[in-house]
Amino acid sequence: MKVARLARMAAMARNKLLCSSHLASMHISTPTSRQISMKTEGLTARLNSAGLLRTQGLIGGKWTDAYDGKTIQVLNPATGEVVADVPCMGGKETNDAISSAHDAFYSWSNLTCTERSKHLRTWYNLLISHKEELGQLITLEQGKPLKEAIGEVNYGASFIEFFAEEAKRVYGDIIPATLGDRRLLVLKQPVGVVGAITPWNFPLAMITRKVGPALACGCTVVIKPSELTPLTALAAAELALQAGIPPGVLNVVMGNAPDIGNALLASSQVRKITFTGSTAVGKKLMEGAAGTVKRVSLELGGNAPCIIFDDADLDVAVKGSLAAKFRNSGQTCVCANRLIVQEGIYDKFAEAFSKAVQNLQVGDGFSEGVVQGPLINESAVQKVESFVQDAISKGAKVLLGGKRHSLGMTFYEPTVIGDVKSEMILSREEVFGPVAPLMRFKTEEEAISIANNTNAGLAAYIFTNNIQRSWRVTEALEYGLVGVNEGLISTEVAPFGGVKQSGIGREGSKYGMDEYLELKYVCLGDMNRK
């Protein structure tokens, strides 16, 4: 038991090292036959027979190993078992993927909008018809409960469907001319080759939210999924090939994150970087993109306030903040990070909320009834622990949980901490785990000031039955997304993105297309000649 635990810890620590975007050393395996763990053998066999267990990168339409044959392991975060080995690629493979994307750009961008739309629609249909298998793959490598994972497939696929439709609506403009012999036009054209760097918390949806609009606009893409969750990306790429999306339009490389990132940044053929992940890495990418003056879209960390006013409906507030906090075990950028509760409702809310949290069933995402899976790895649990310890040492009170779950090292108890203050790390940084810190406030002004007292500005939530207040507070919040009496607000039809250090640009919705389009102004002169 002890030995297995140690082996699991070692494997996780290796993976943590590997996947750090500041990667200094790599855990690499020699190119032996691919290891599939015994316990997950049945599942992986099913995925394999559906053709969805791809364990090579995709370059120019060809499934490819790392050129030096090195591999990295993908682990199941619920058990620590090795699910598969995937190639540990670097700069060389990335440069080839960029060349393939560059070669494919001319013909892809010259297809008619209807043709591109049809390809995307076919891809969407395939994603939906394989939602069970894709969901299983997400649970296997990311850990979220199967029902939530299948929900992510629906959510992820919705971006492909939406942008299949938007492909037909890339309208230009005609501008009234200031001189009689001229006609002024604006054309919208694809940016070019896009480097898309995506995170582990939504292994599918964060890819489709970027690739959908990119492909719809006529761009081609090199995707670098997280090394923790590459299998879903590879399965989605397999379905893109099956959908007839031509070779080179969509490429996938994974492995040595800094090498891949540097190759994407250095290439003048890559005209845009789109990234979802930490603010620290986002800043580095922004800096790196300056060398070739690339466009960047960044969807970075949050520190979402969830303000519950005295006049809120208690049931609505509990249900909404529970959803906003505990989605994906607290591992989303829009998860409520601070529950800021007015003093008149604080005690009632704390009691009702803690009761609801106590009912959340924790376990392996494949087990029936489980709604809280493991955290992604050991270091994520250590981070949660250290935030909670800091709060306790500064006077906060544990109302529920507050420690590792008895199930093992990647599981943490759904936790509620009362009397959290602004000097505690829990209120200043994104915990990215199942911990709900409660803070007290007296006045509306104080709530707004606490909420805005952060460099982050992604999502915010408010619960109130006062319509004037809801409008007033929404306007005062320095955030890109606001949920009023609702804790789950993400959808393909609305713009997603942050202000301040939470990012640049918007994803999803009609606005998501603008990120992949250049404007070209055309002036037609001598137009009065007969």
| Residues recognised as catalytic | 299
Residue type, 387: F
Judged by CB under 6 A, the stretch of 91-99, 327-335, 423-431, 520-528 that binds ligand SIN is 327-335
Q: Which residue's CB is nearer to ligand SIN, number 192 or number 282?
A: 282
Q: Which residue's CB is nearer to ligand SIN, number 277 or number 418?
A: 277
Helix (H) or strand (E) holding 93: helix 91-109
Q: Where are the alpha helices (DSSP H) in 244-303?
A: 257-266, 279-289
Q: Which residue's CB is nearer to ligand SIN, number 282 or number 418?
A: 282
* C-alpha to C-alpha distance for 440 and 420, rounded to whole angstroms: 8
Which residues, numbered 153-212, are part of the site for ligand SIN (CB under 6 A)?
201-202
Strands of 31-81, DSSP E = 57-59, 62-64, 71-75
Min dist CB 491 to ligand SIN, Å, is 9
Contact pattern for ligand SIN over residues 465 through 484, marking x by CB under 6 A = --------------------
Tokens representing 14 are: 């290796």
* C-alpha to C-alpha distance for 44 and 136, rounded to whole angstroms: 9
Q: How many residues bind ligand SIN (CB under 6 A)?
A: 9
Q: Which residue is nearest to ligand SIN (CB)?
A: 490
Judged by CB under 6 A, the stretch of 2-10, 55-63, 179-187, 331-339 that binds ligand SIN is 331-339
Does position 108 interact with ligand SIN (CB under 6 A)? The reply is: no
* C-alpha to C-alpha distance for 347 and 118, rounded to whole angstroms: 55
With beta carbons less than 8 A apart as the criterion, state whether 375 and 410 touch: yes
In whole angstroms, how far apart are CA 492 and each of 187, 198, 417? 25, 17, 33
From candidates 122, 208, 279, 332, binder to ligand SIN by CB under 6 A:
332
Residue type, 216: A
State whether the Cα torsion 43-48-49-50 is positive or negative.
positive
Q: Which residue's CB is nearer to ligand SIN, number 154 or number 466?
A: 154
From candidates 52, 78, 150, 333, binder to ligand SIN by CB under 6 A:
333
* C-alpha to C-alpha distance for 349 and 309, rounded to whole angstroms: 10
Judged by CB under 6 A, the stretch of 79-87, 139-147, 329-337, 360-368 that binds ligand SIN is 329-337
Which candidate, 410, 345, 71, places its Cα nearest to that of 230?
71
* C-alpha to C-alpha distance for 375 and 331, rounded to whole angstroms: 8
Tokens representing 336 are: 């409520």
Q: Which residue's CB is nearer to ligand SIN, number 82 or number 459?
A: 459
- Residue identified by tokens 């936790």 is 415
Helix, strand, coil % in the chain, rounded to nearest 5? 45, 20, 35
Min dist CB 14 to ligand SIN, Å, is 25
Contact pattern for ligand SIN over residues 493 through 512, marking x by CB under 6 A = ---x----------------
From candidates 276, 410, 501, 502, binder to ligand SIN by CB under 6 A:
276
Size of the chain, expressed as the number of residues it contains: 530
Q: Which residue's CB is nearer to ligand SIN, number 297 or number 490?
A: 490
Min dist CB 457 to ligand SIN, Å, is 14
With beta carbons less than 8 A apart as the criterion, state whether 496 and 481 touch: yes
Min dist CB 372 to ligand SIN, Å, is 16
From candidates 222, 322, 334, 435, binder to ligand SIN by CB under 6 A:
334
User: What backbone torsions phi and psi does residue 312 show, to the nearest 5 degrees?
Assistant: -70, 155
Q: Which residue's CB is nearer to ligand SIN, number 461 or number 496?
A: 496
CA-derived radius of gyration, the chain: 24
β-sheet bridge partners, residue 308: 341, 463
User: What backbone torsions phi and psi does residue 27 show, to the nearest 5 degrees?
Assistant: -95, 115
Min dist CB 483 to ligand SIN, Å, is 11
Min dist CB 451 to ligand SIN, Å, is 19
Contacts of 66 (CB under 8 A, 6+ apart): 57, 87, 88, 89, 90, 93, 255
Q: Which residue's CB is nearer to ligand SIN, number 201 or number 410?
A: 201
Min dist CB 496 to ligand SIN, Å, is 6
- Residue identified by tokens 């102004």 is 521
Tokens representing 389 are: 């310890």
Contact pattern for ligand SIN over residues 293 through 322, marking x by CB under 6 A = ------x-----------------------
Residue type, 192: G
Judged by CB under 6 A, the stretch of 73-81, 259-267, 326-334, 437-445 that binds ligand SIN is 326-334
Min dist CB 332 to ligand SIN, Å, is 3
Q: Which residue's CB is nearer to ligand SIN, number 58 or number 273?
A: 273
Q: Which residue's CB is nearer to ligand SIN, number 21 or number 122?
A: 21
Min dist CB 490 to ligand SIN, Å, is 3
Min dist CB 131 to ligand SIN, Å, is 17
With beta carbons less than 8 A apart as the criterion, state whether 420 and 402 touch: no
Residues that bind ligand SIN (CB under 6 A): 201-202, 276, 299, 332-334, 490, 496
